[in-house]
Amino acid sequence: MNRDQKIGIIILIFCIVIWFFVIPAQVAGRRESFFPRFTTIWILISNFFLIVQSWKVVPNKISYELLDKKTIFQFIAIVFIFLICILTIDFLGFFIPTFLFLVITMSVLGVRDWRVLILVPLVLLLSIHFLIEKLLVFPLPKGRIF
Amino acid sequence: MLENIAAGMDMVLQLDNILASMFGVTIGIIMGAIPGLSDITAICLLLPFTFYLKPIAAIAMLMGLSKGGNFGGSIPAILFNVPGTAQAVVTSYDGYPLTKQGKSGKALKMALYASTMADTLSDFILFFLAAPVATVALMIGPPEYTMLVIFSLVVIGVAGSENFVKGMMAIGMGLFLSVIGLDPVTAKPRFTFGSIELSAGLAVIPIVLGLFVVSEAFRQMELILREKSSRNLNNRYQNQVKKTDNLSDHRVSLAEFKHCLPAIFGGVGIGSALGAIPGIGTTVAAYLSYTYTKRASKHPELFGKGALEGVAAAEAGNNAVVGPNLIPLITLGIPGNLAAALILGAFMMQGLIPGPLFMQQYAPMLYALFTVLIISNVFTFTVGSLFVNYVRHLTYVPKRILYPIVIVFAIVGSYVFRSNLFDLIVMFTFGVLGYIFVKIKIPITPILVSFILGEILEKRMRQALIISGGSFTIFFTKPISLAFFLLTIFVVLFFIRERKKSRI
């Protein structure tokens, strides 16, 4: 099974779930559910053609040949750290999670000079503080703990 | 009309608007010049802040970002064969060979002259065509508008995608996302899953930042990790730009400019014609303009080896799209490309709804927009001229530091718009989705455009069905509506045929 066939099956399942379970549960009324059903049909028709097309044209595989296990781990770690950063902003405020995110991500990406690792986040976050909070008076998340 | 023009100019010619335009152009050039960032990144990152500006200043800044970024993208394309934007690929065909000959200054200046000249001429096309098109647009009702939006979405999905089926799927996904929140007619909740945040629907800003900024940052960081793992992290741009001491190699003489004028006018014609059609972007215009100039040239053999006309044609073609692209946006409320979609988002954030009634309700606004476009061109020219000799240093910005910073700016942008932490989750989710979509070759631009147009399409479609008592025949019995339906079929068949031909 090639990539597009897998995508086709996932989208088919998504549309079935939306049509038979989510719309009846989440959308009350015939008029209200008209457009969601219209969009689902739109996706289904496109999906039908994608599946038909995928039997004729085999798509290129996603290129992972340069990715060894360590690289995959590092990439997932960056995405995960980003998620953690966002989730902790509510508790720790804007500056601590983003400072840690910047330091960790830059070091994972290969920055080895500790002065760069400390100074870049520091200068950036101070600039954001003065520019966004002081000058433009936009509030940044404060956090529940600090 | 004259009083509208005067009122429009009066609205624009204020210090804050002019500063906003200059700021936009400068940031646009800087971000366009950094490979991996683009005019779109610049607009996405600064869009949330425009909410707090006056309407004209907001539009001035966005137009400045778009125009500055468009030119900025040509700088790394010419200097290092690393296009900063997709449309700048064509500029690199002859720009980079000129750099290899030690004539980078000449190539950059010709790119600047051609892009600002083409841009200005195309803005005049907007000025003269918008009012007549708006008059015609007033005659269309809900069924015609429905079919027009569907036509535009299909063109955007089909023309802007490598695989038109995936483009159509992306359109469907964007439309589906637009239904989350309250029903636009009855205000009943849909797909909210009991969440208060989802009741207000998904906001444009976090989706834009996720799909276009965060996903791009993920892709670039993946590339950095790949390069690191293959021990190939040496700076790609370490090869210094070759420069000669001969001054004439770094300026465009009057004779050379005159020689390039047909290429510029050709580019303006092609770019403007394509720009008025939604979905046909700047890249196609640049490519067609280049091909046309090469065919018309007495020395086509020089193209690809450092022909100055090649640089002029590519830049004129892609910049001439900008003005006419705003015609469908202003008169019909349909964005022609991603930049126009983002500008539509800015209009809506300011409470201005472009469409057939826009010209009646805000006539001076069109002329204000036109003045903004001209001012942005003046700044692109002046700031570009000043930057041309120094901006190359921007391309040395280490990506290992740049992309984490970009993500932090995306966090700031998502939050300041509504001061809602939920928007950060939305941004992250769409960042991951955008990354996956790019990997599996589902285009992300149609998702955003259809998301923005989804609500208006639903409203008009339901209005049409109420008029017809629920019968779908209303879409095929009205002449204009039927014409758009047939045009949609024609466009799909045309692109299928063209793709088959190109495969053969």
Task: Identify all chain B residues contacting A50, using CB atoms and an 8 Å cutoff.
Answer: 165-166, 169
Mutation target vs A (from B198, B415, B453; most A CBs, 10 A cutoff): B415
Place of tokens 């090469």: B294
Span B229-254, pLDDT tens digits: 776 544 444 445 555 566 666 778 88
Q: What confidence score (pLDDT) does residue B391 get?
A: 66
**Token digits of residue B217:** 């940052």
B19: pLDDT strictly greater than 70 = yes
| Cβ neighbourhood burial of B297 (10 Å; 0-12, 13-18, 19+) | middle
Q: What confidence score (pLDDT) does residue B121 get?
A: 92
Q: How many residues does chain A have?
A: 146
Say yes or no for a CB contact (<8 Å) between B412 and A128.
yes
Which one-letter DSSP state was computed for residue A59? P
Q: What confidence score (pLDDT) does residue B55 get?
A: 82
Q: What confidence score (pLDDT) does residue B437 get?
A: 93
**Token digits of residue B127:** 């000025």
Minimum CA–CA partner of B176 in chain A: A39
A21-48 b/e (C-beta count within 10 Å ≥ 16 → b) = ebbeebbeeeebbbbbebbbebbbebbe
B354: pLDDT strictly greater than 90 = no
Q: In the predicted model, what is the mean pLDDT of chain A?
A: 88
C-alpha–C-alpha distance, residues B320 and B313, integer Å: 10
Q: Evaluate whether ipTM surpasses 0.90.
A: yes
Domain span at residue B89 reads 2-503
Span B90-123, pLDDT tens digits: 888 888 888 888 888 888 999 999 999 999 998 8
Query: Phi and psi for B246 in degrees, rounded to 5?
Result: -70, 115
Q: Over range B168-175, report the average pLDDT.
A: 94
Alpha carbon of residue A6 to chain centroid: 21
Say yes or no for a CB contact (<8 Å) between B421 and A89.
yes
Say yes or no for a CB contact (<8 Å) between A67 and B428.
no
Least confident of A122-126, B183-187, B388-392: B388-392
Distances (CA, A) of B492 to A139, B163, B164, B165, B328: 48, 12, 9, 10, 20
User: For residue B279, what pLDDT band results from cuts at 50, 70 and 90?
Assistant: low
Q: Over range A5-29, report the average pLDDT.
A: 92
Residue type, B380: T
C-alpha–C-alpha distance, residues B297 and B277, integer Å: 27
Span A28-84, pLDDT tens digits: 888 899 999 999 999 999 999 999 888 876 666 555 545 678 888 999 999 999 999
Let me know: does B148 contact B140? Beta carbons within 8 Å.
Answer: yes
Q: What confidence score (pLDDT) does residue B82 get?
A: 67
Q: What confidence score (pLDDT) does residue B29 get?
A: 87
Let me know: does B451 contact B178? Beta carbons within 8 Å.
Answer: yes
Closest CA–CA distance from residue B226 to any residue of chain A (Å):
6
Total structural domains within chain B? 1
Q: Nearest Cα to B358, choosing from B327, B337, B336, B322? A: B327
Say yes or no for a CB contact (<8 Å) between A66 and B226.
yes
- Segment of A34-38, B15-19, B106-110, B141-145 carrying the highest mean pLDDT: A34-38
Q: Is A25 on the interface with B (CB under 8 A)?
A: no
The residue with greater pLDDT, B239 or B36, is B36
User: For residue A117, what pLDDT band results from cuts at 50, 70 and 90?
Assistant: very high
Q: What confidence score (pLDDT) does residue A97 get?
A: 95
Say yes or no for a CB contact (<8 Å) between B166 and A66.
no
Is the torsion defined by CA of B324, B204, B40, B379 positive or negative?
A: positive
Q: In the predicted model, what is the mean pLDDT of chain B?
A: 84
Q: Over range B132-145, report the average pLDDT.
A: 81
B18: pLDDT strictly greater than 50 = yes
Span B400-447, pLDDT tens digits: 998 899 899 889 888 887 888 999 999 999 999 999 999 998 988 889
> Which residues between 65 and 94 in chain A have a beta carbon less than 8 angstroms from any beta carbon of chain B?
66-68, 70-71, 74-75, 78-79, 82-83, 85-86, 89-90, 94
**Token digits of residue A98:** 């983003």
Residue type, B210: G
Choose among B172, B175, B193: nearest Cβ to A26.
Answer: B193
Say yes or no for a CB contact (<8 Å) between B400 and A27.
no
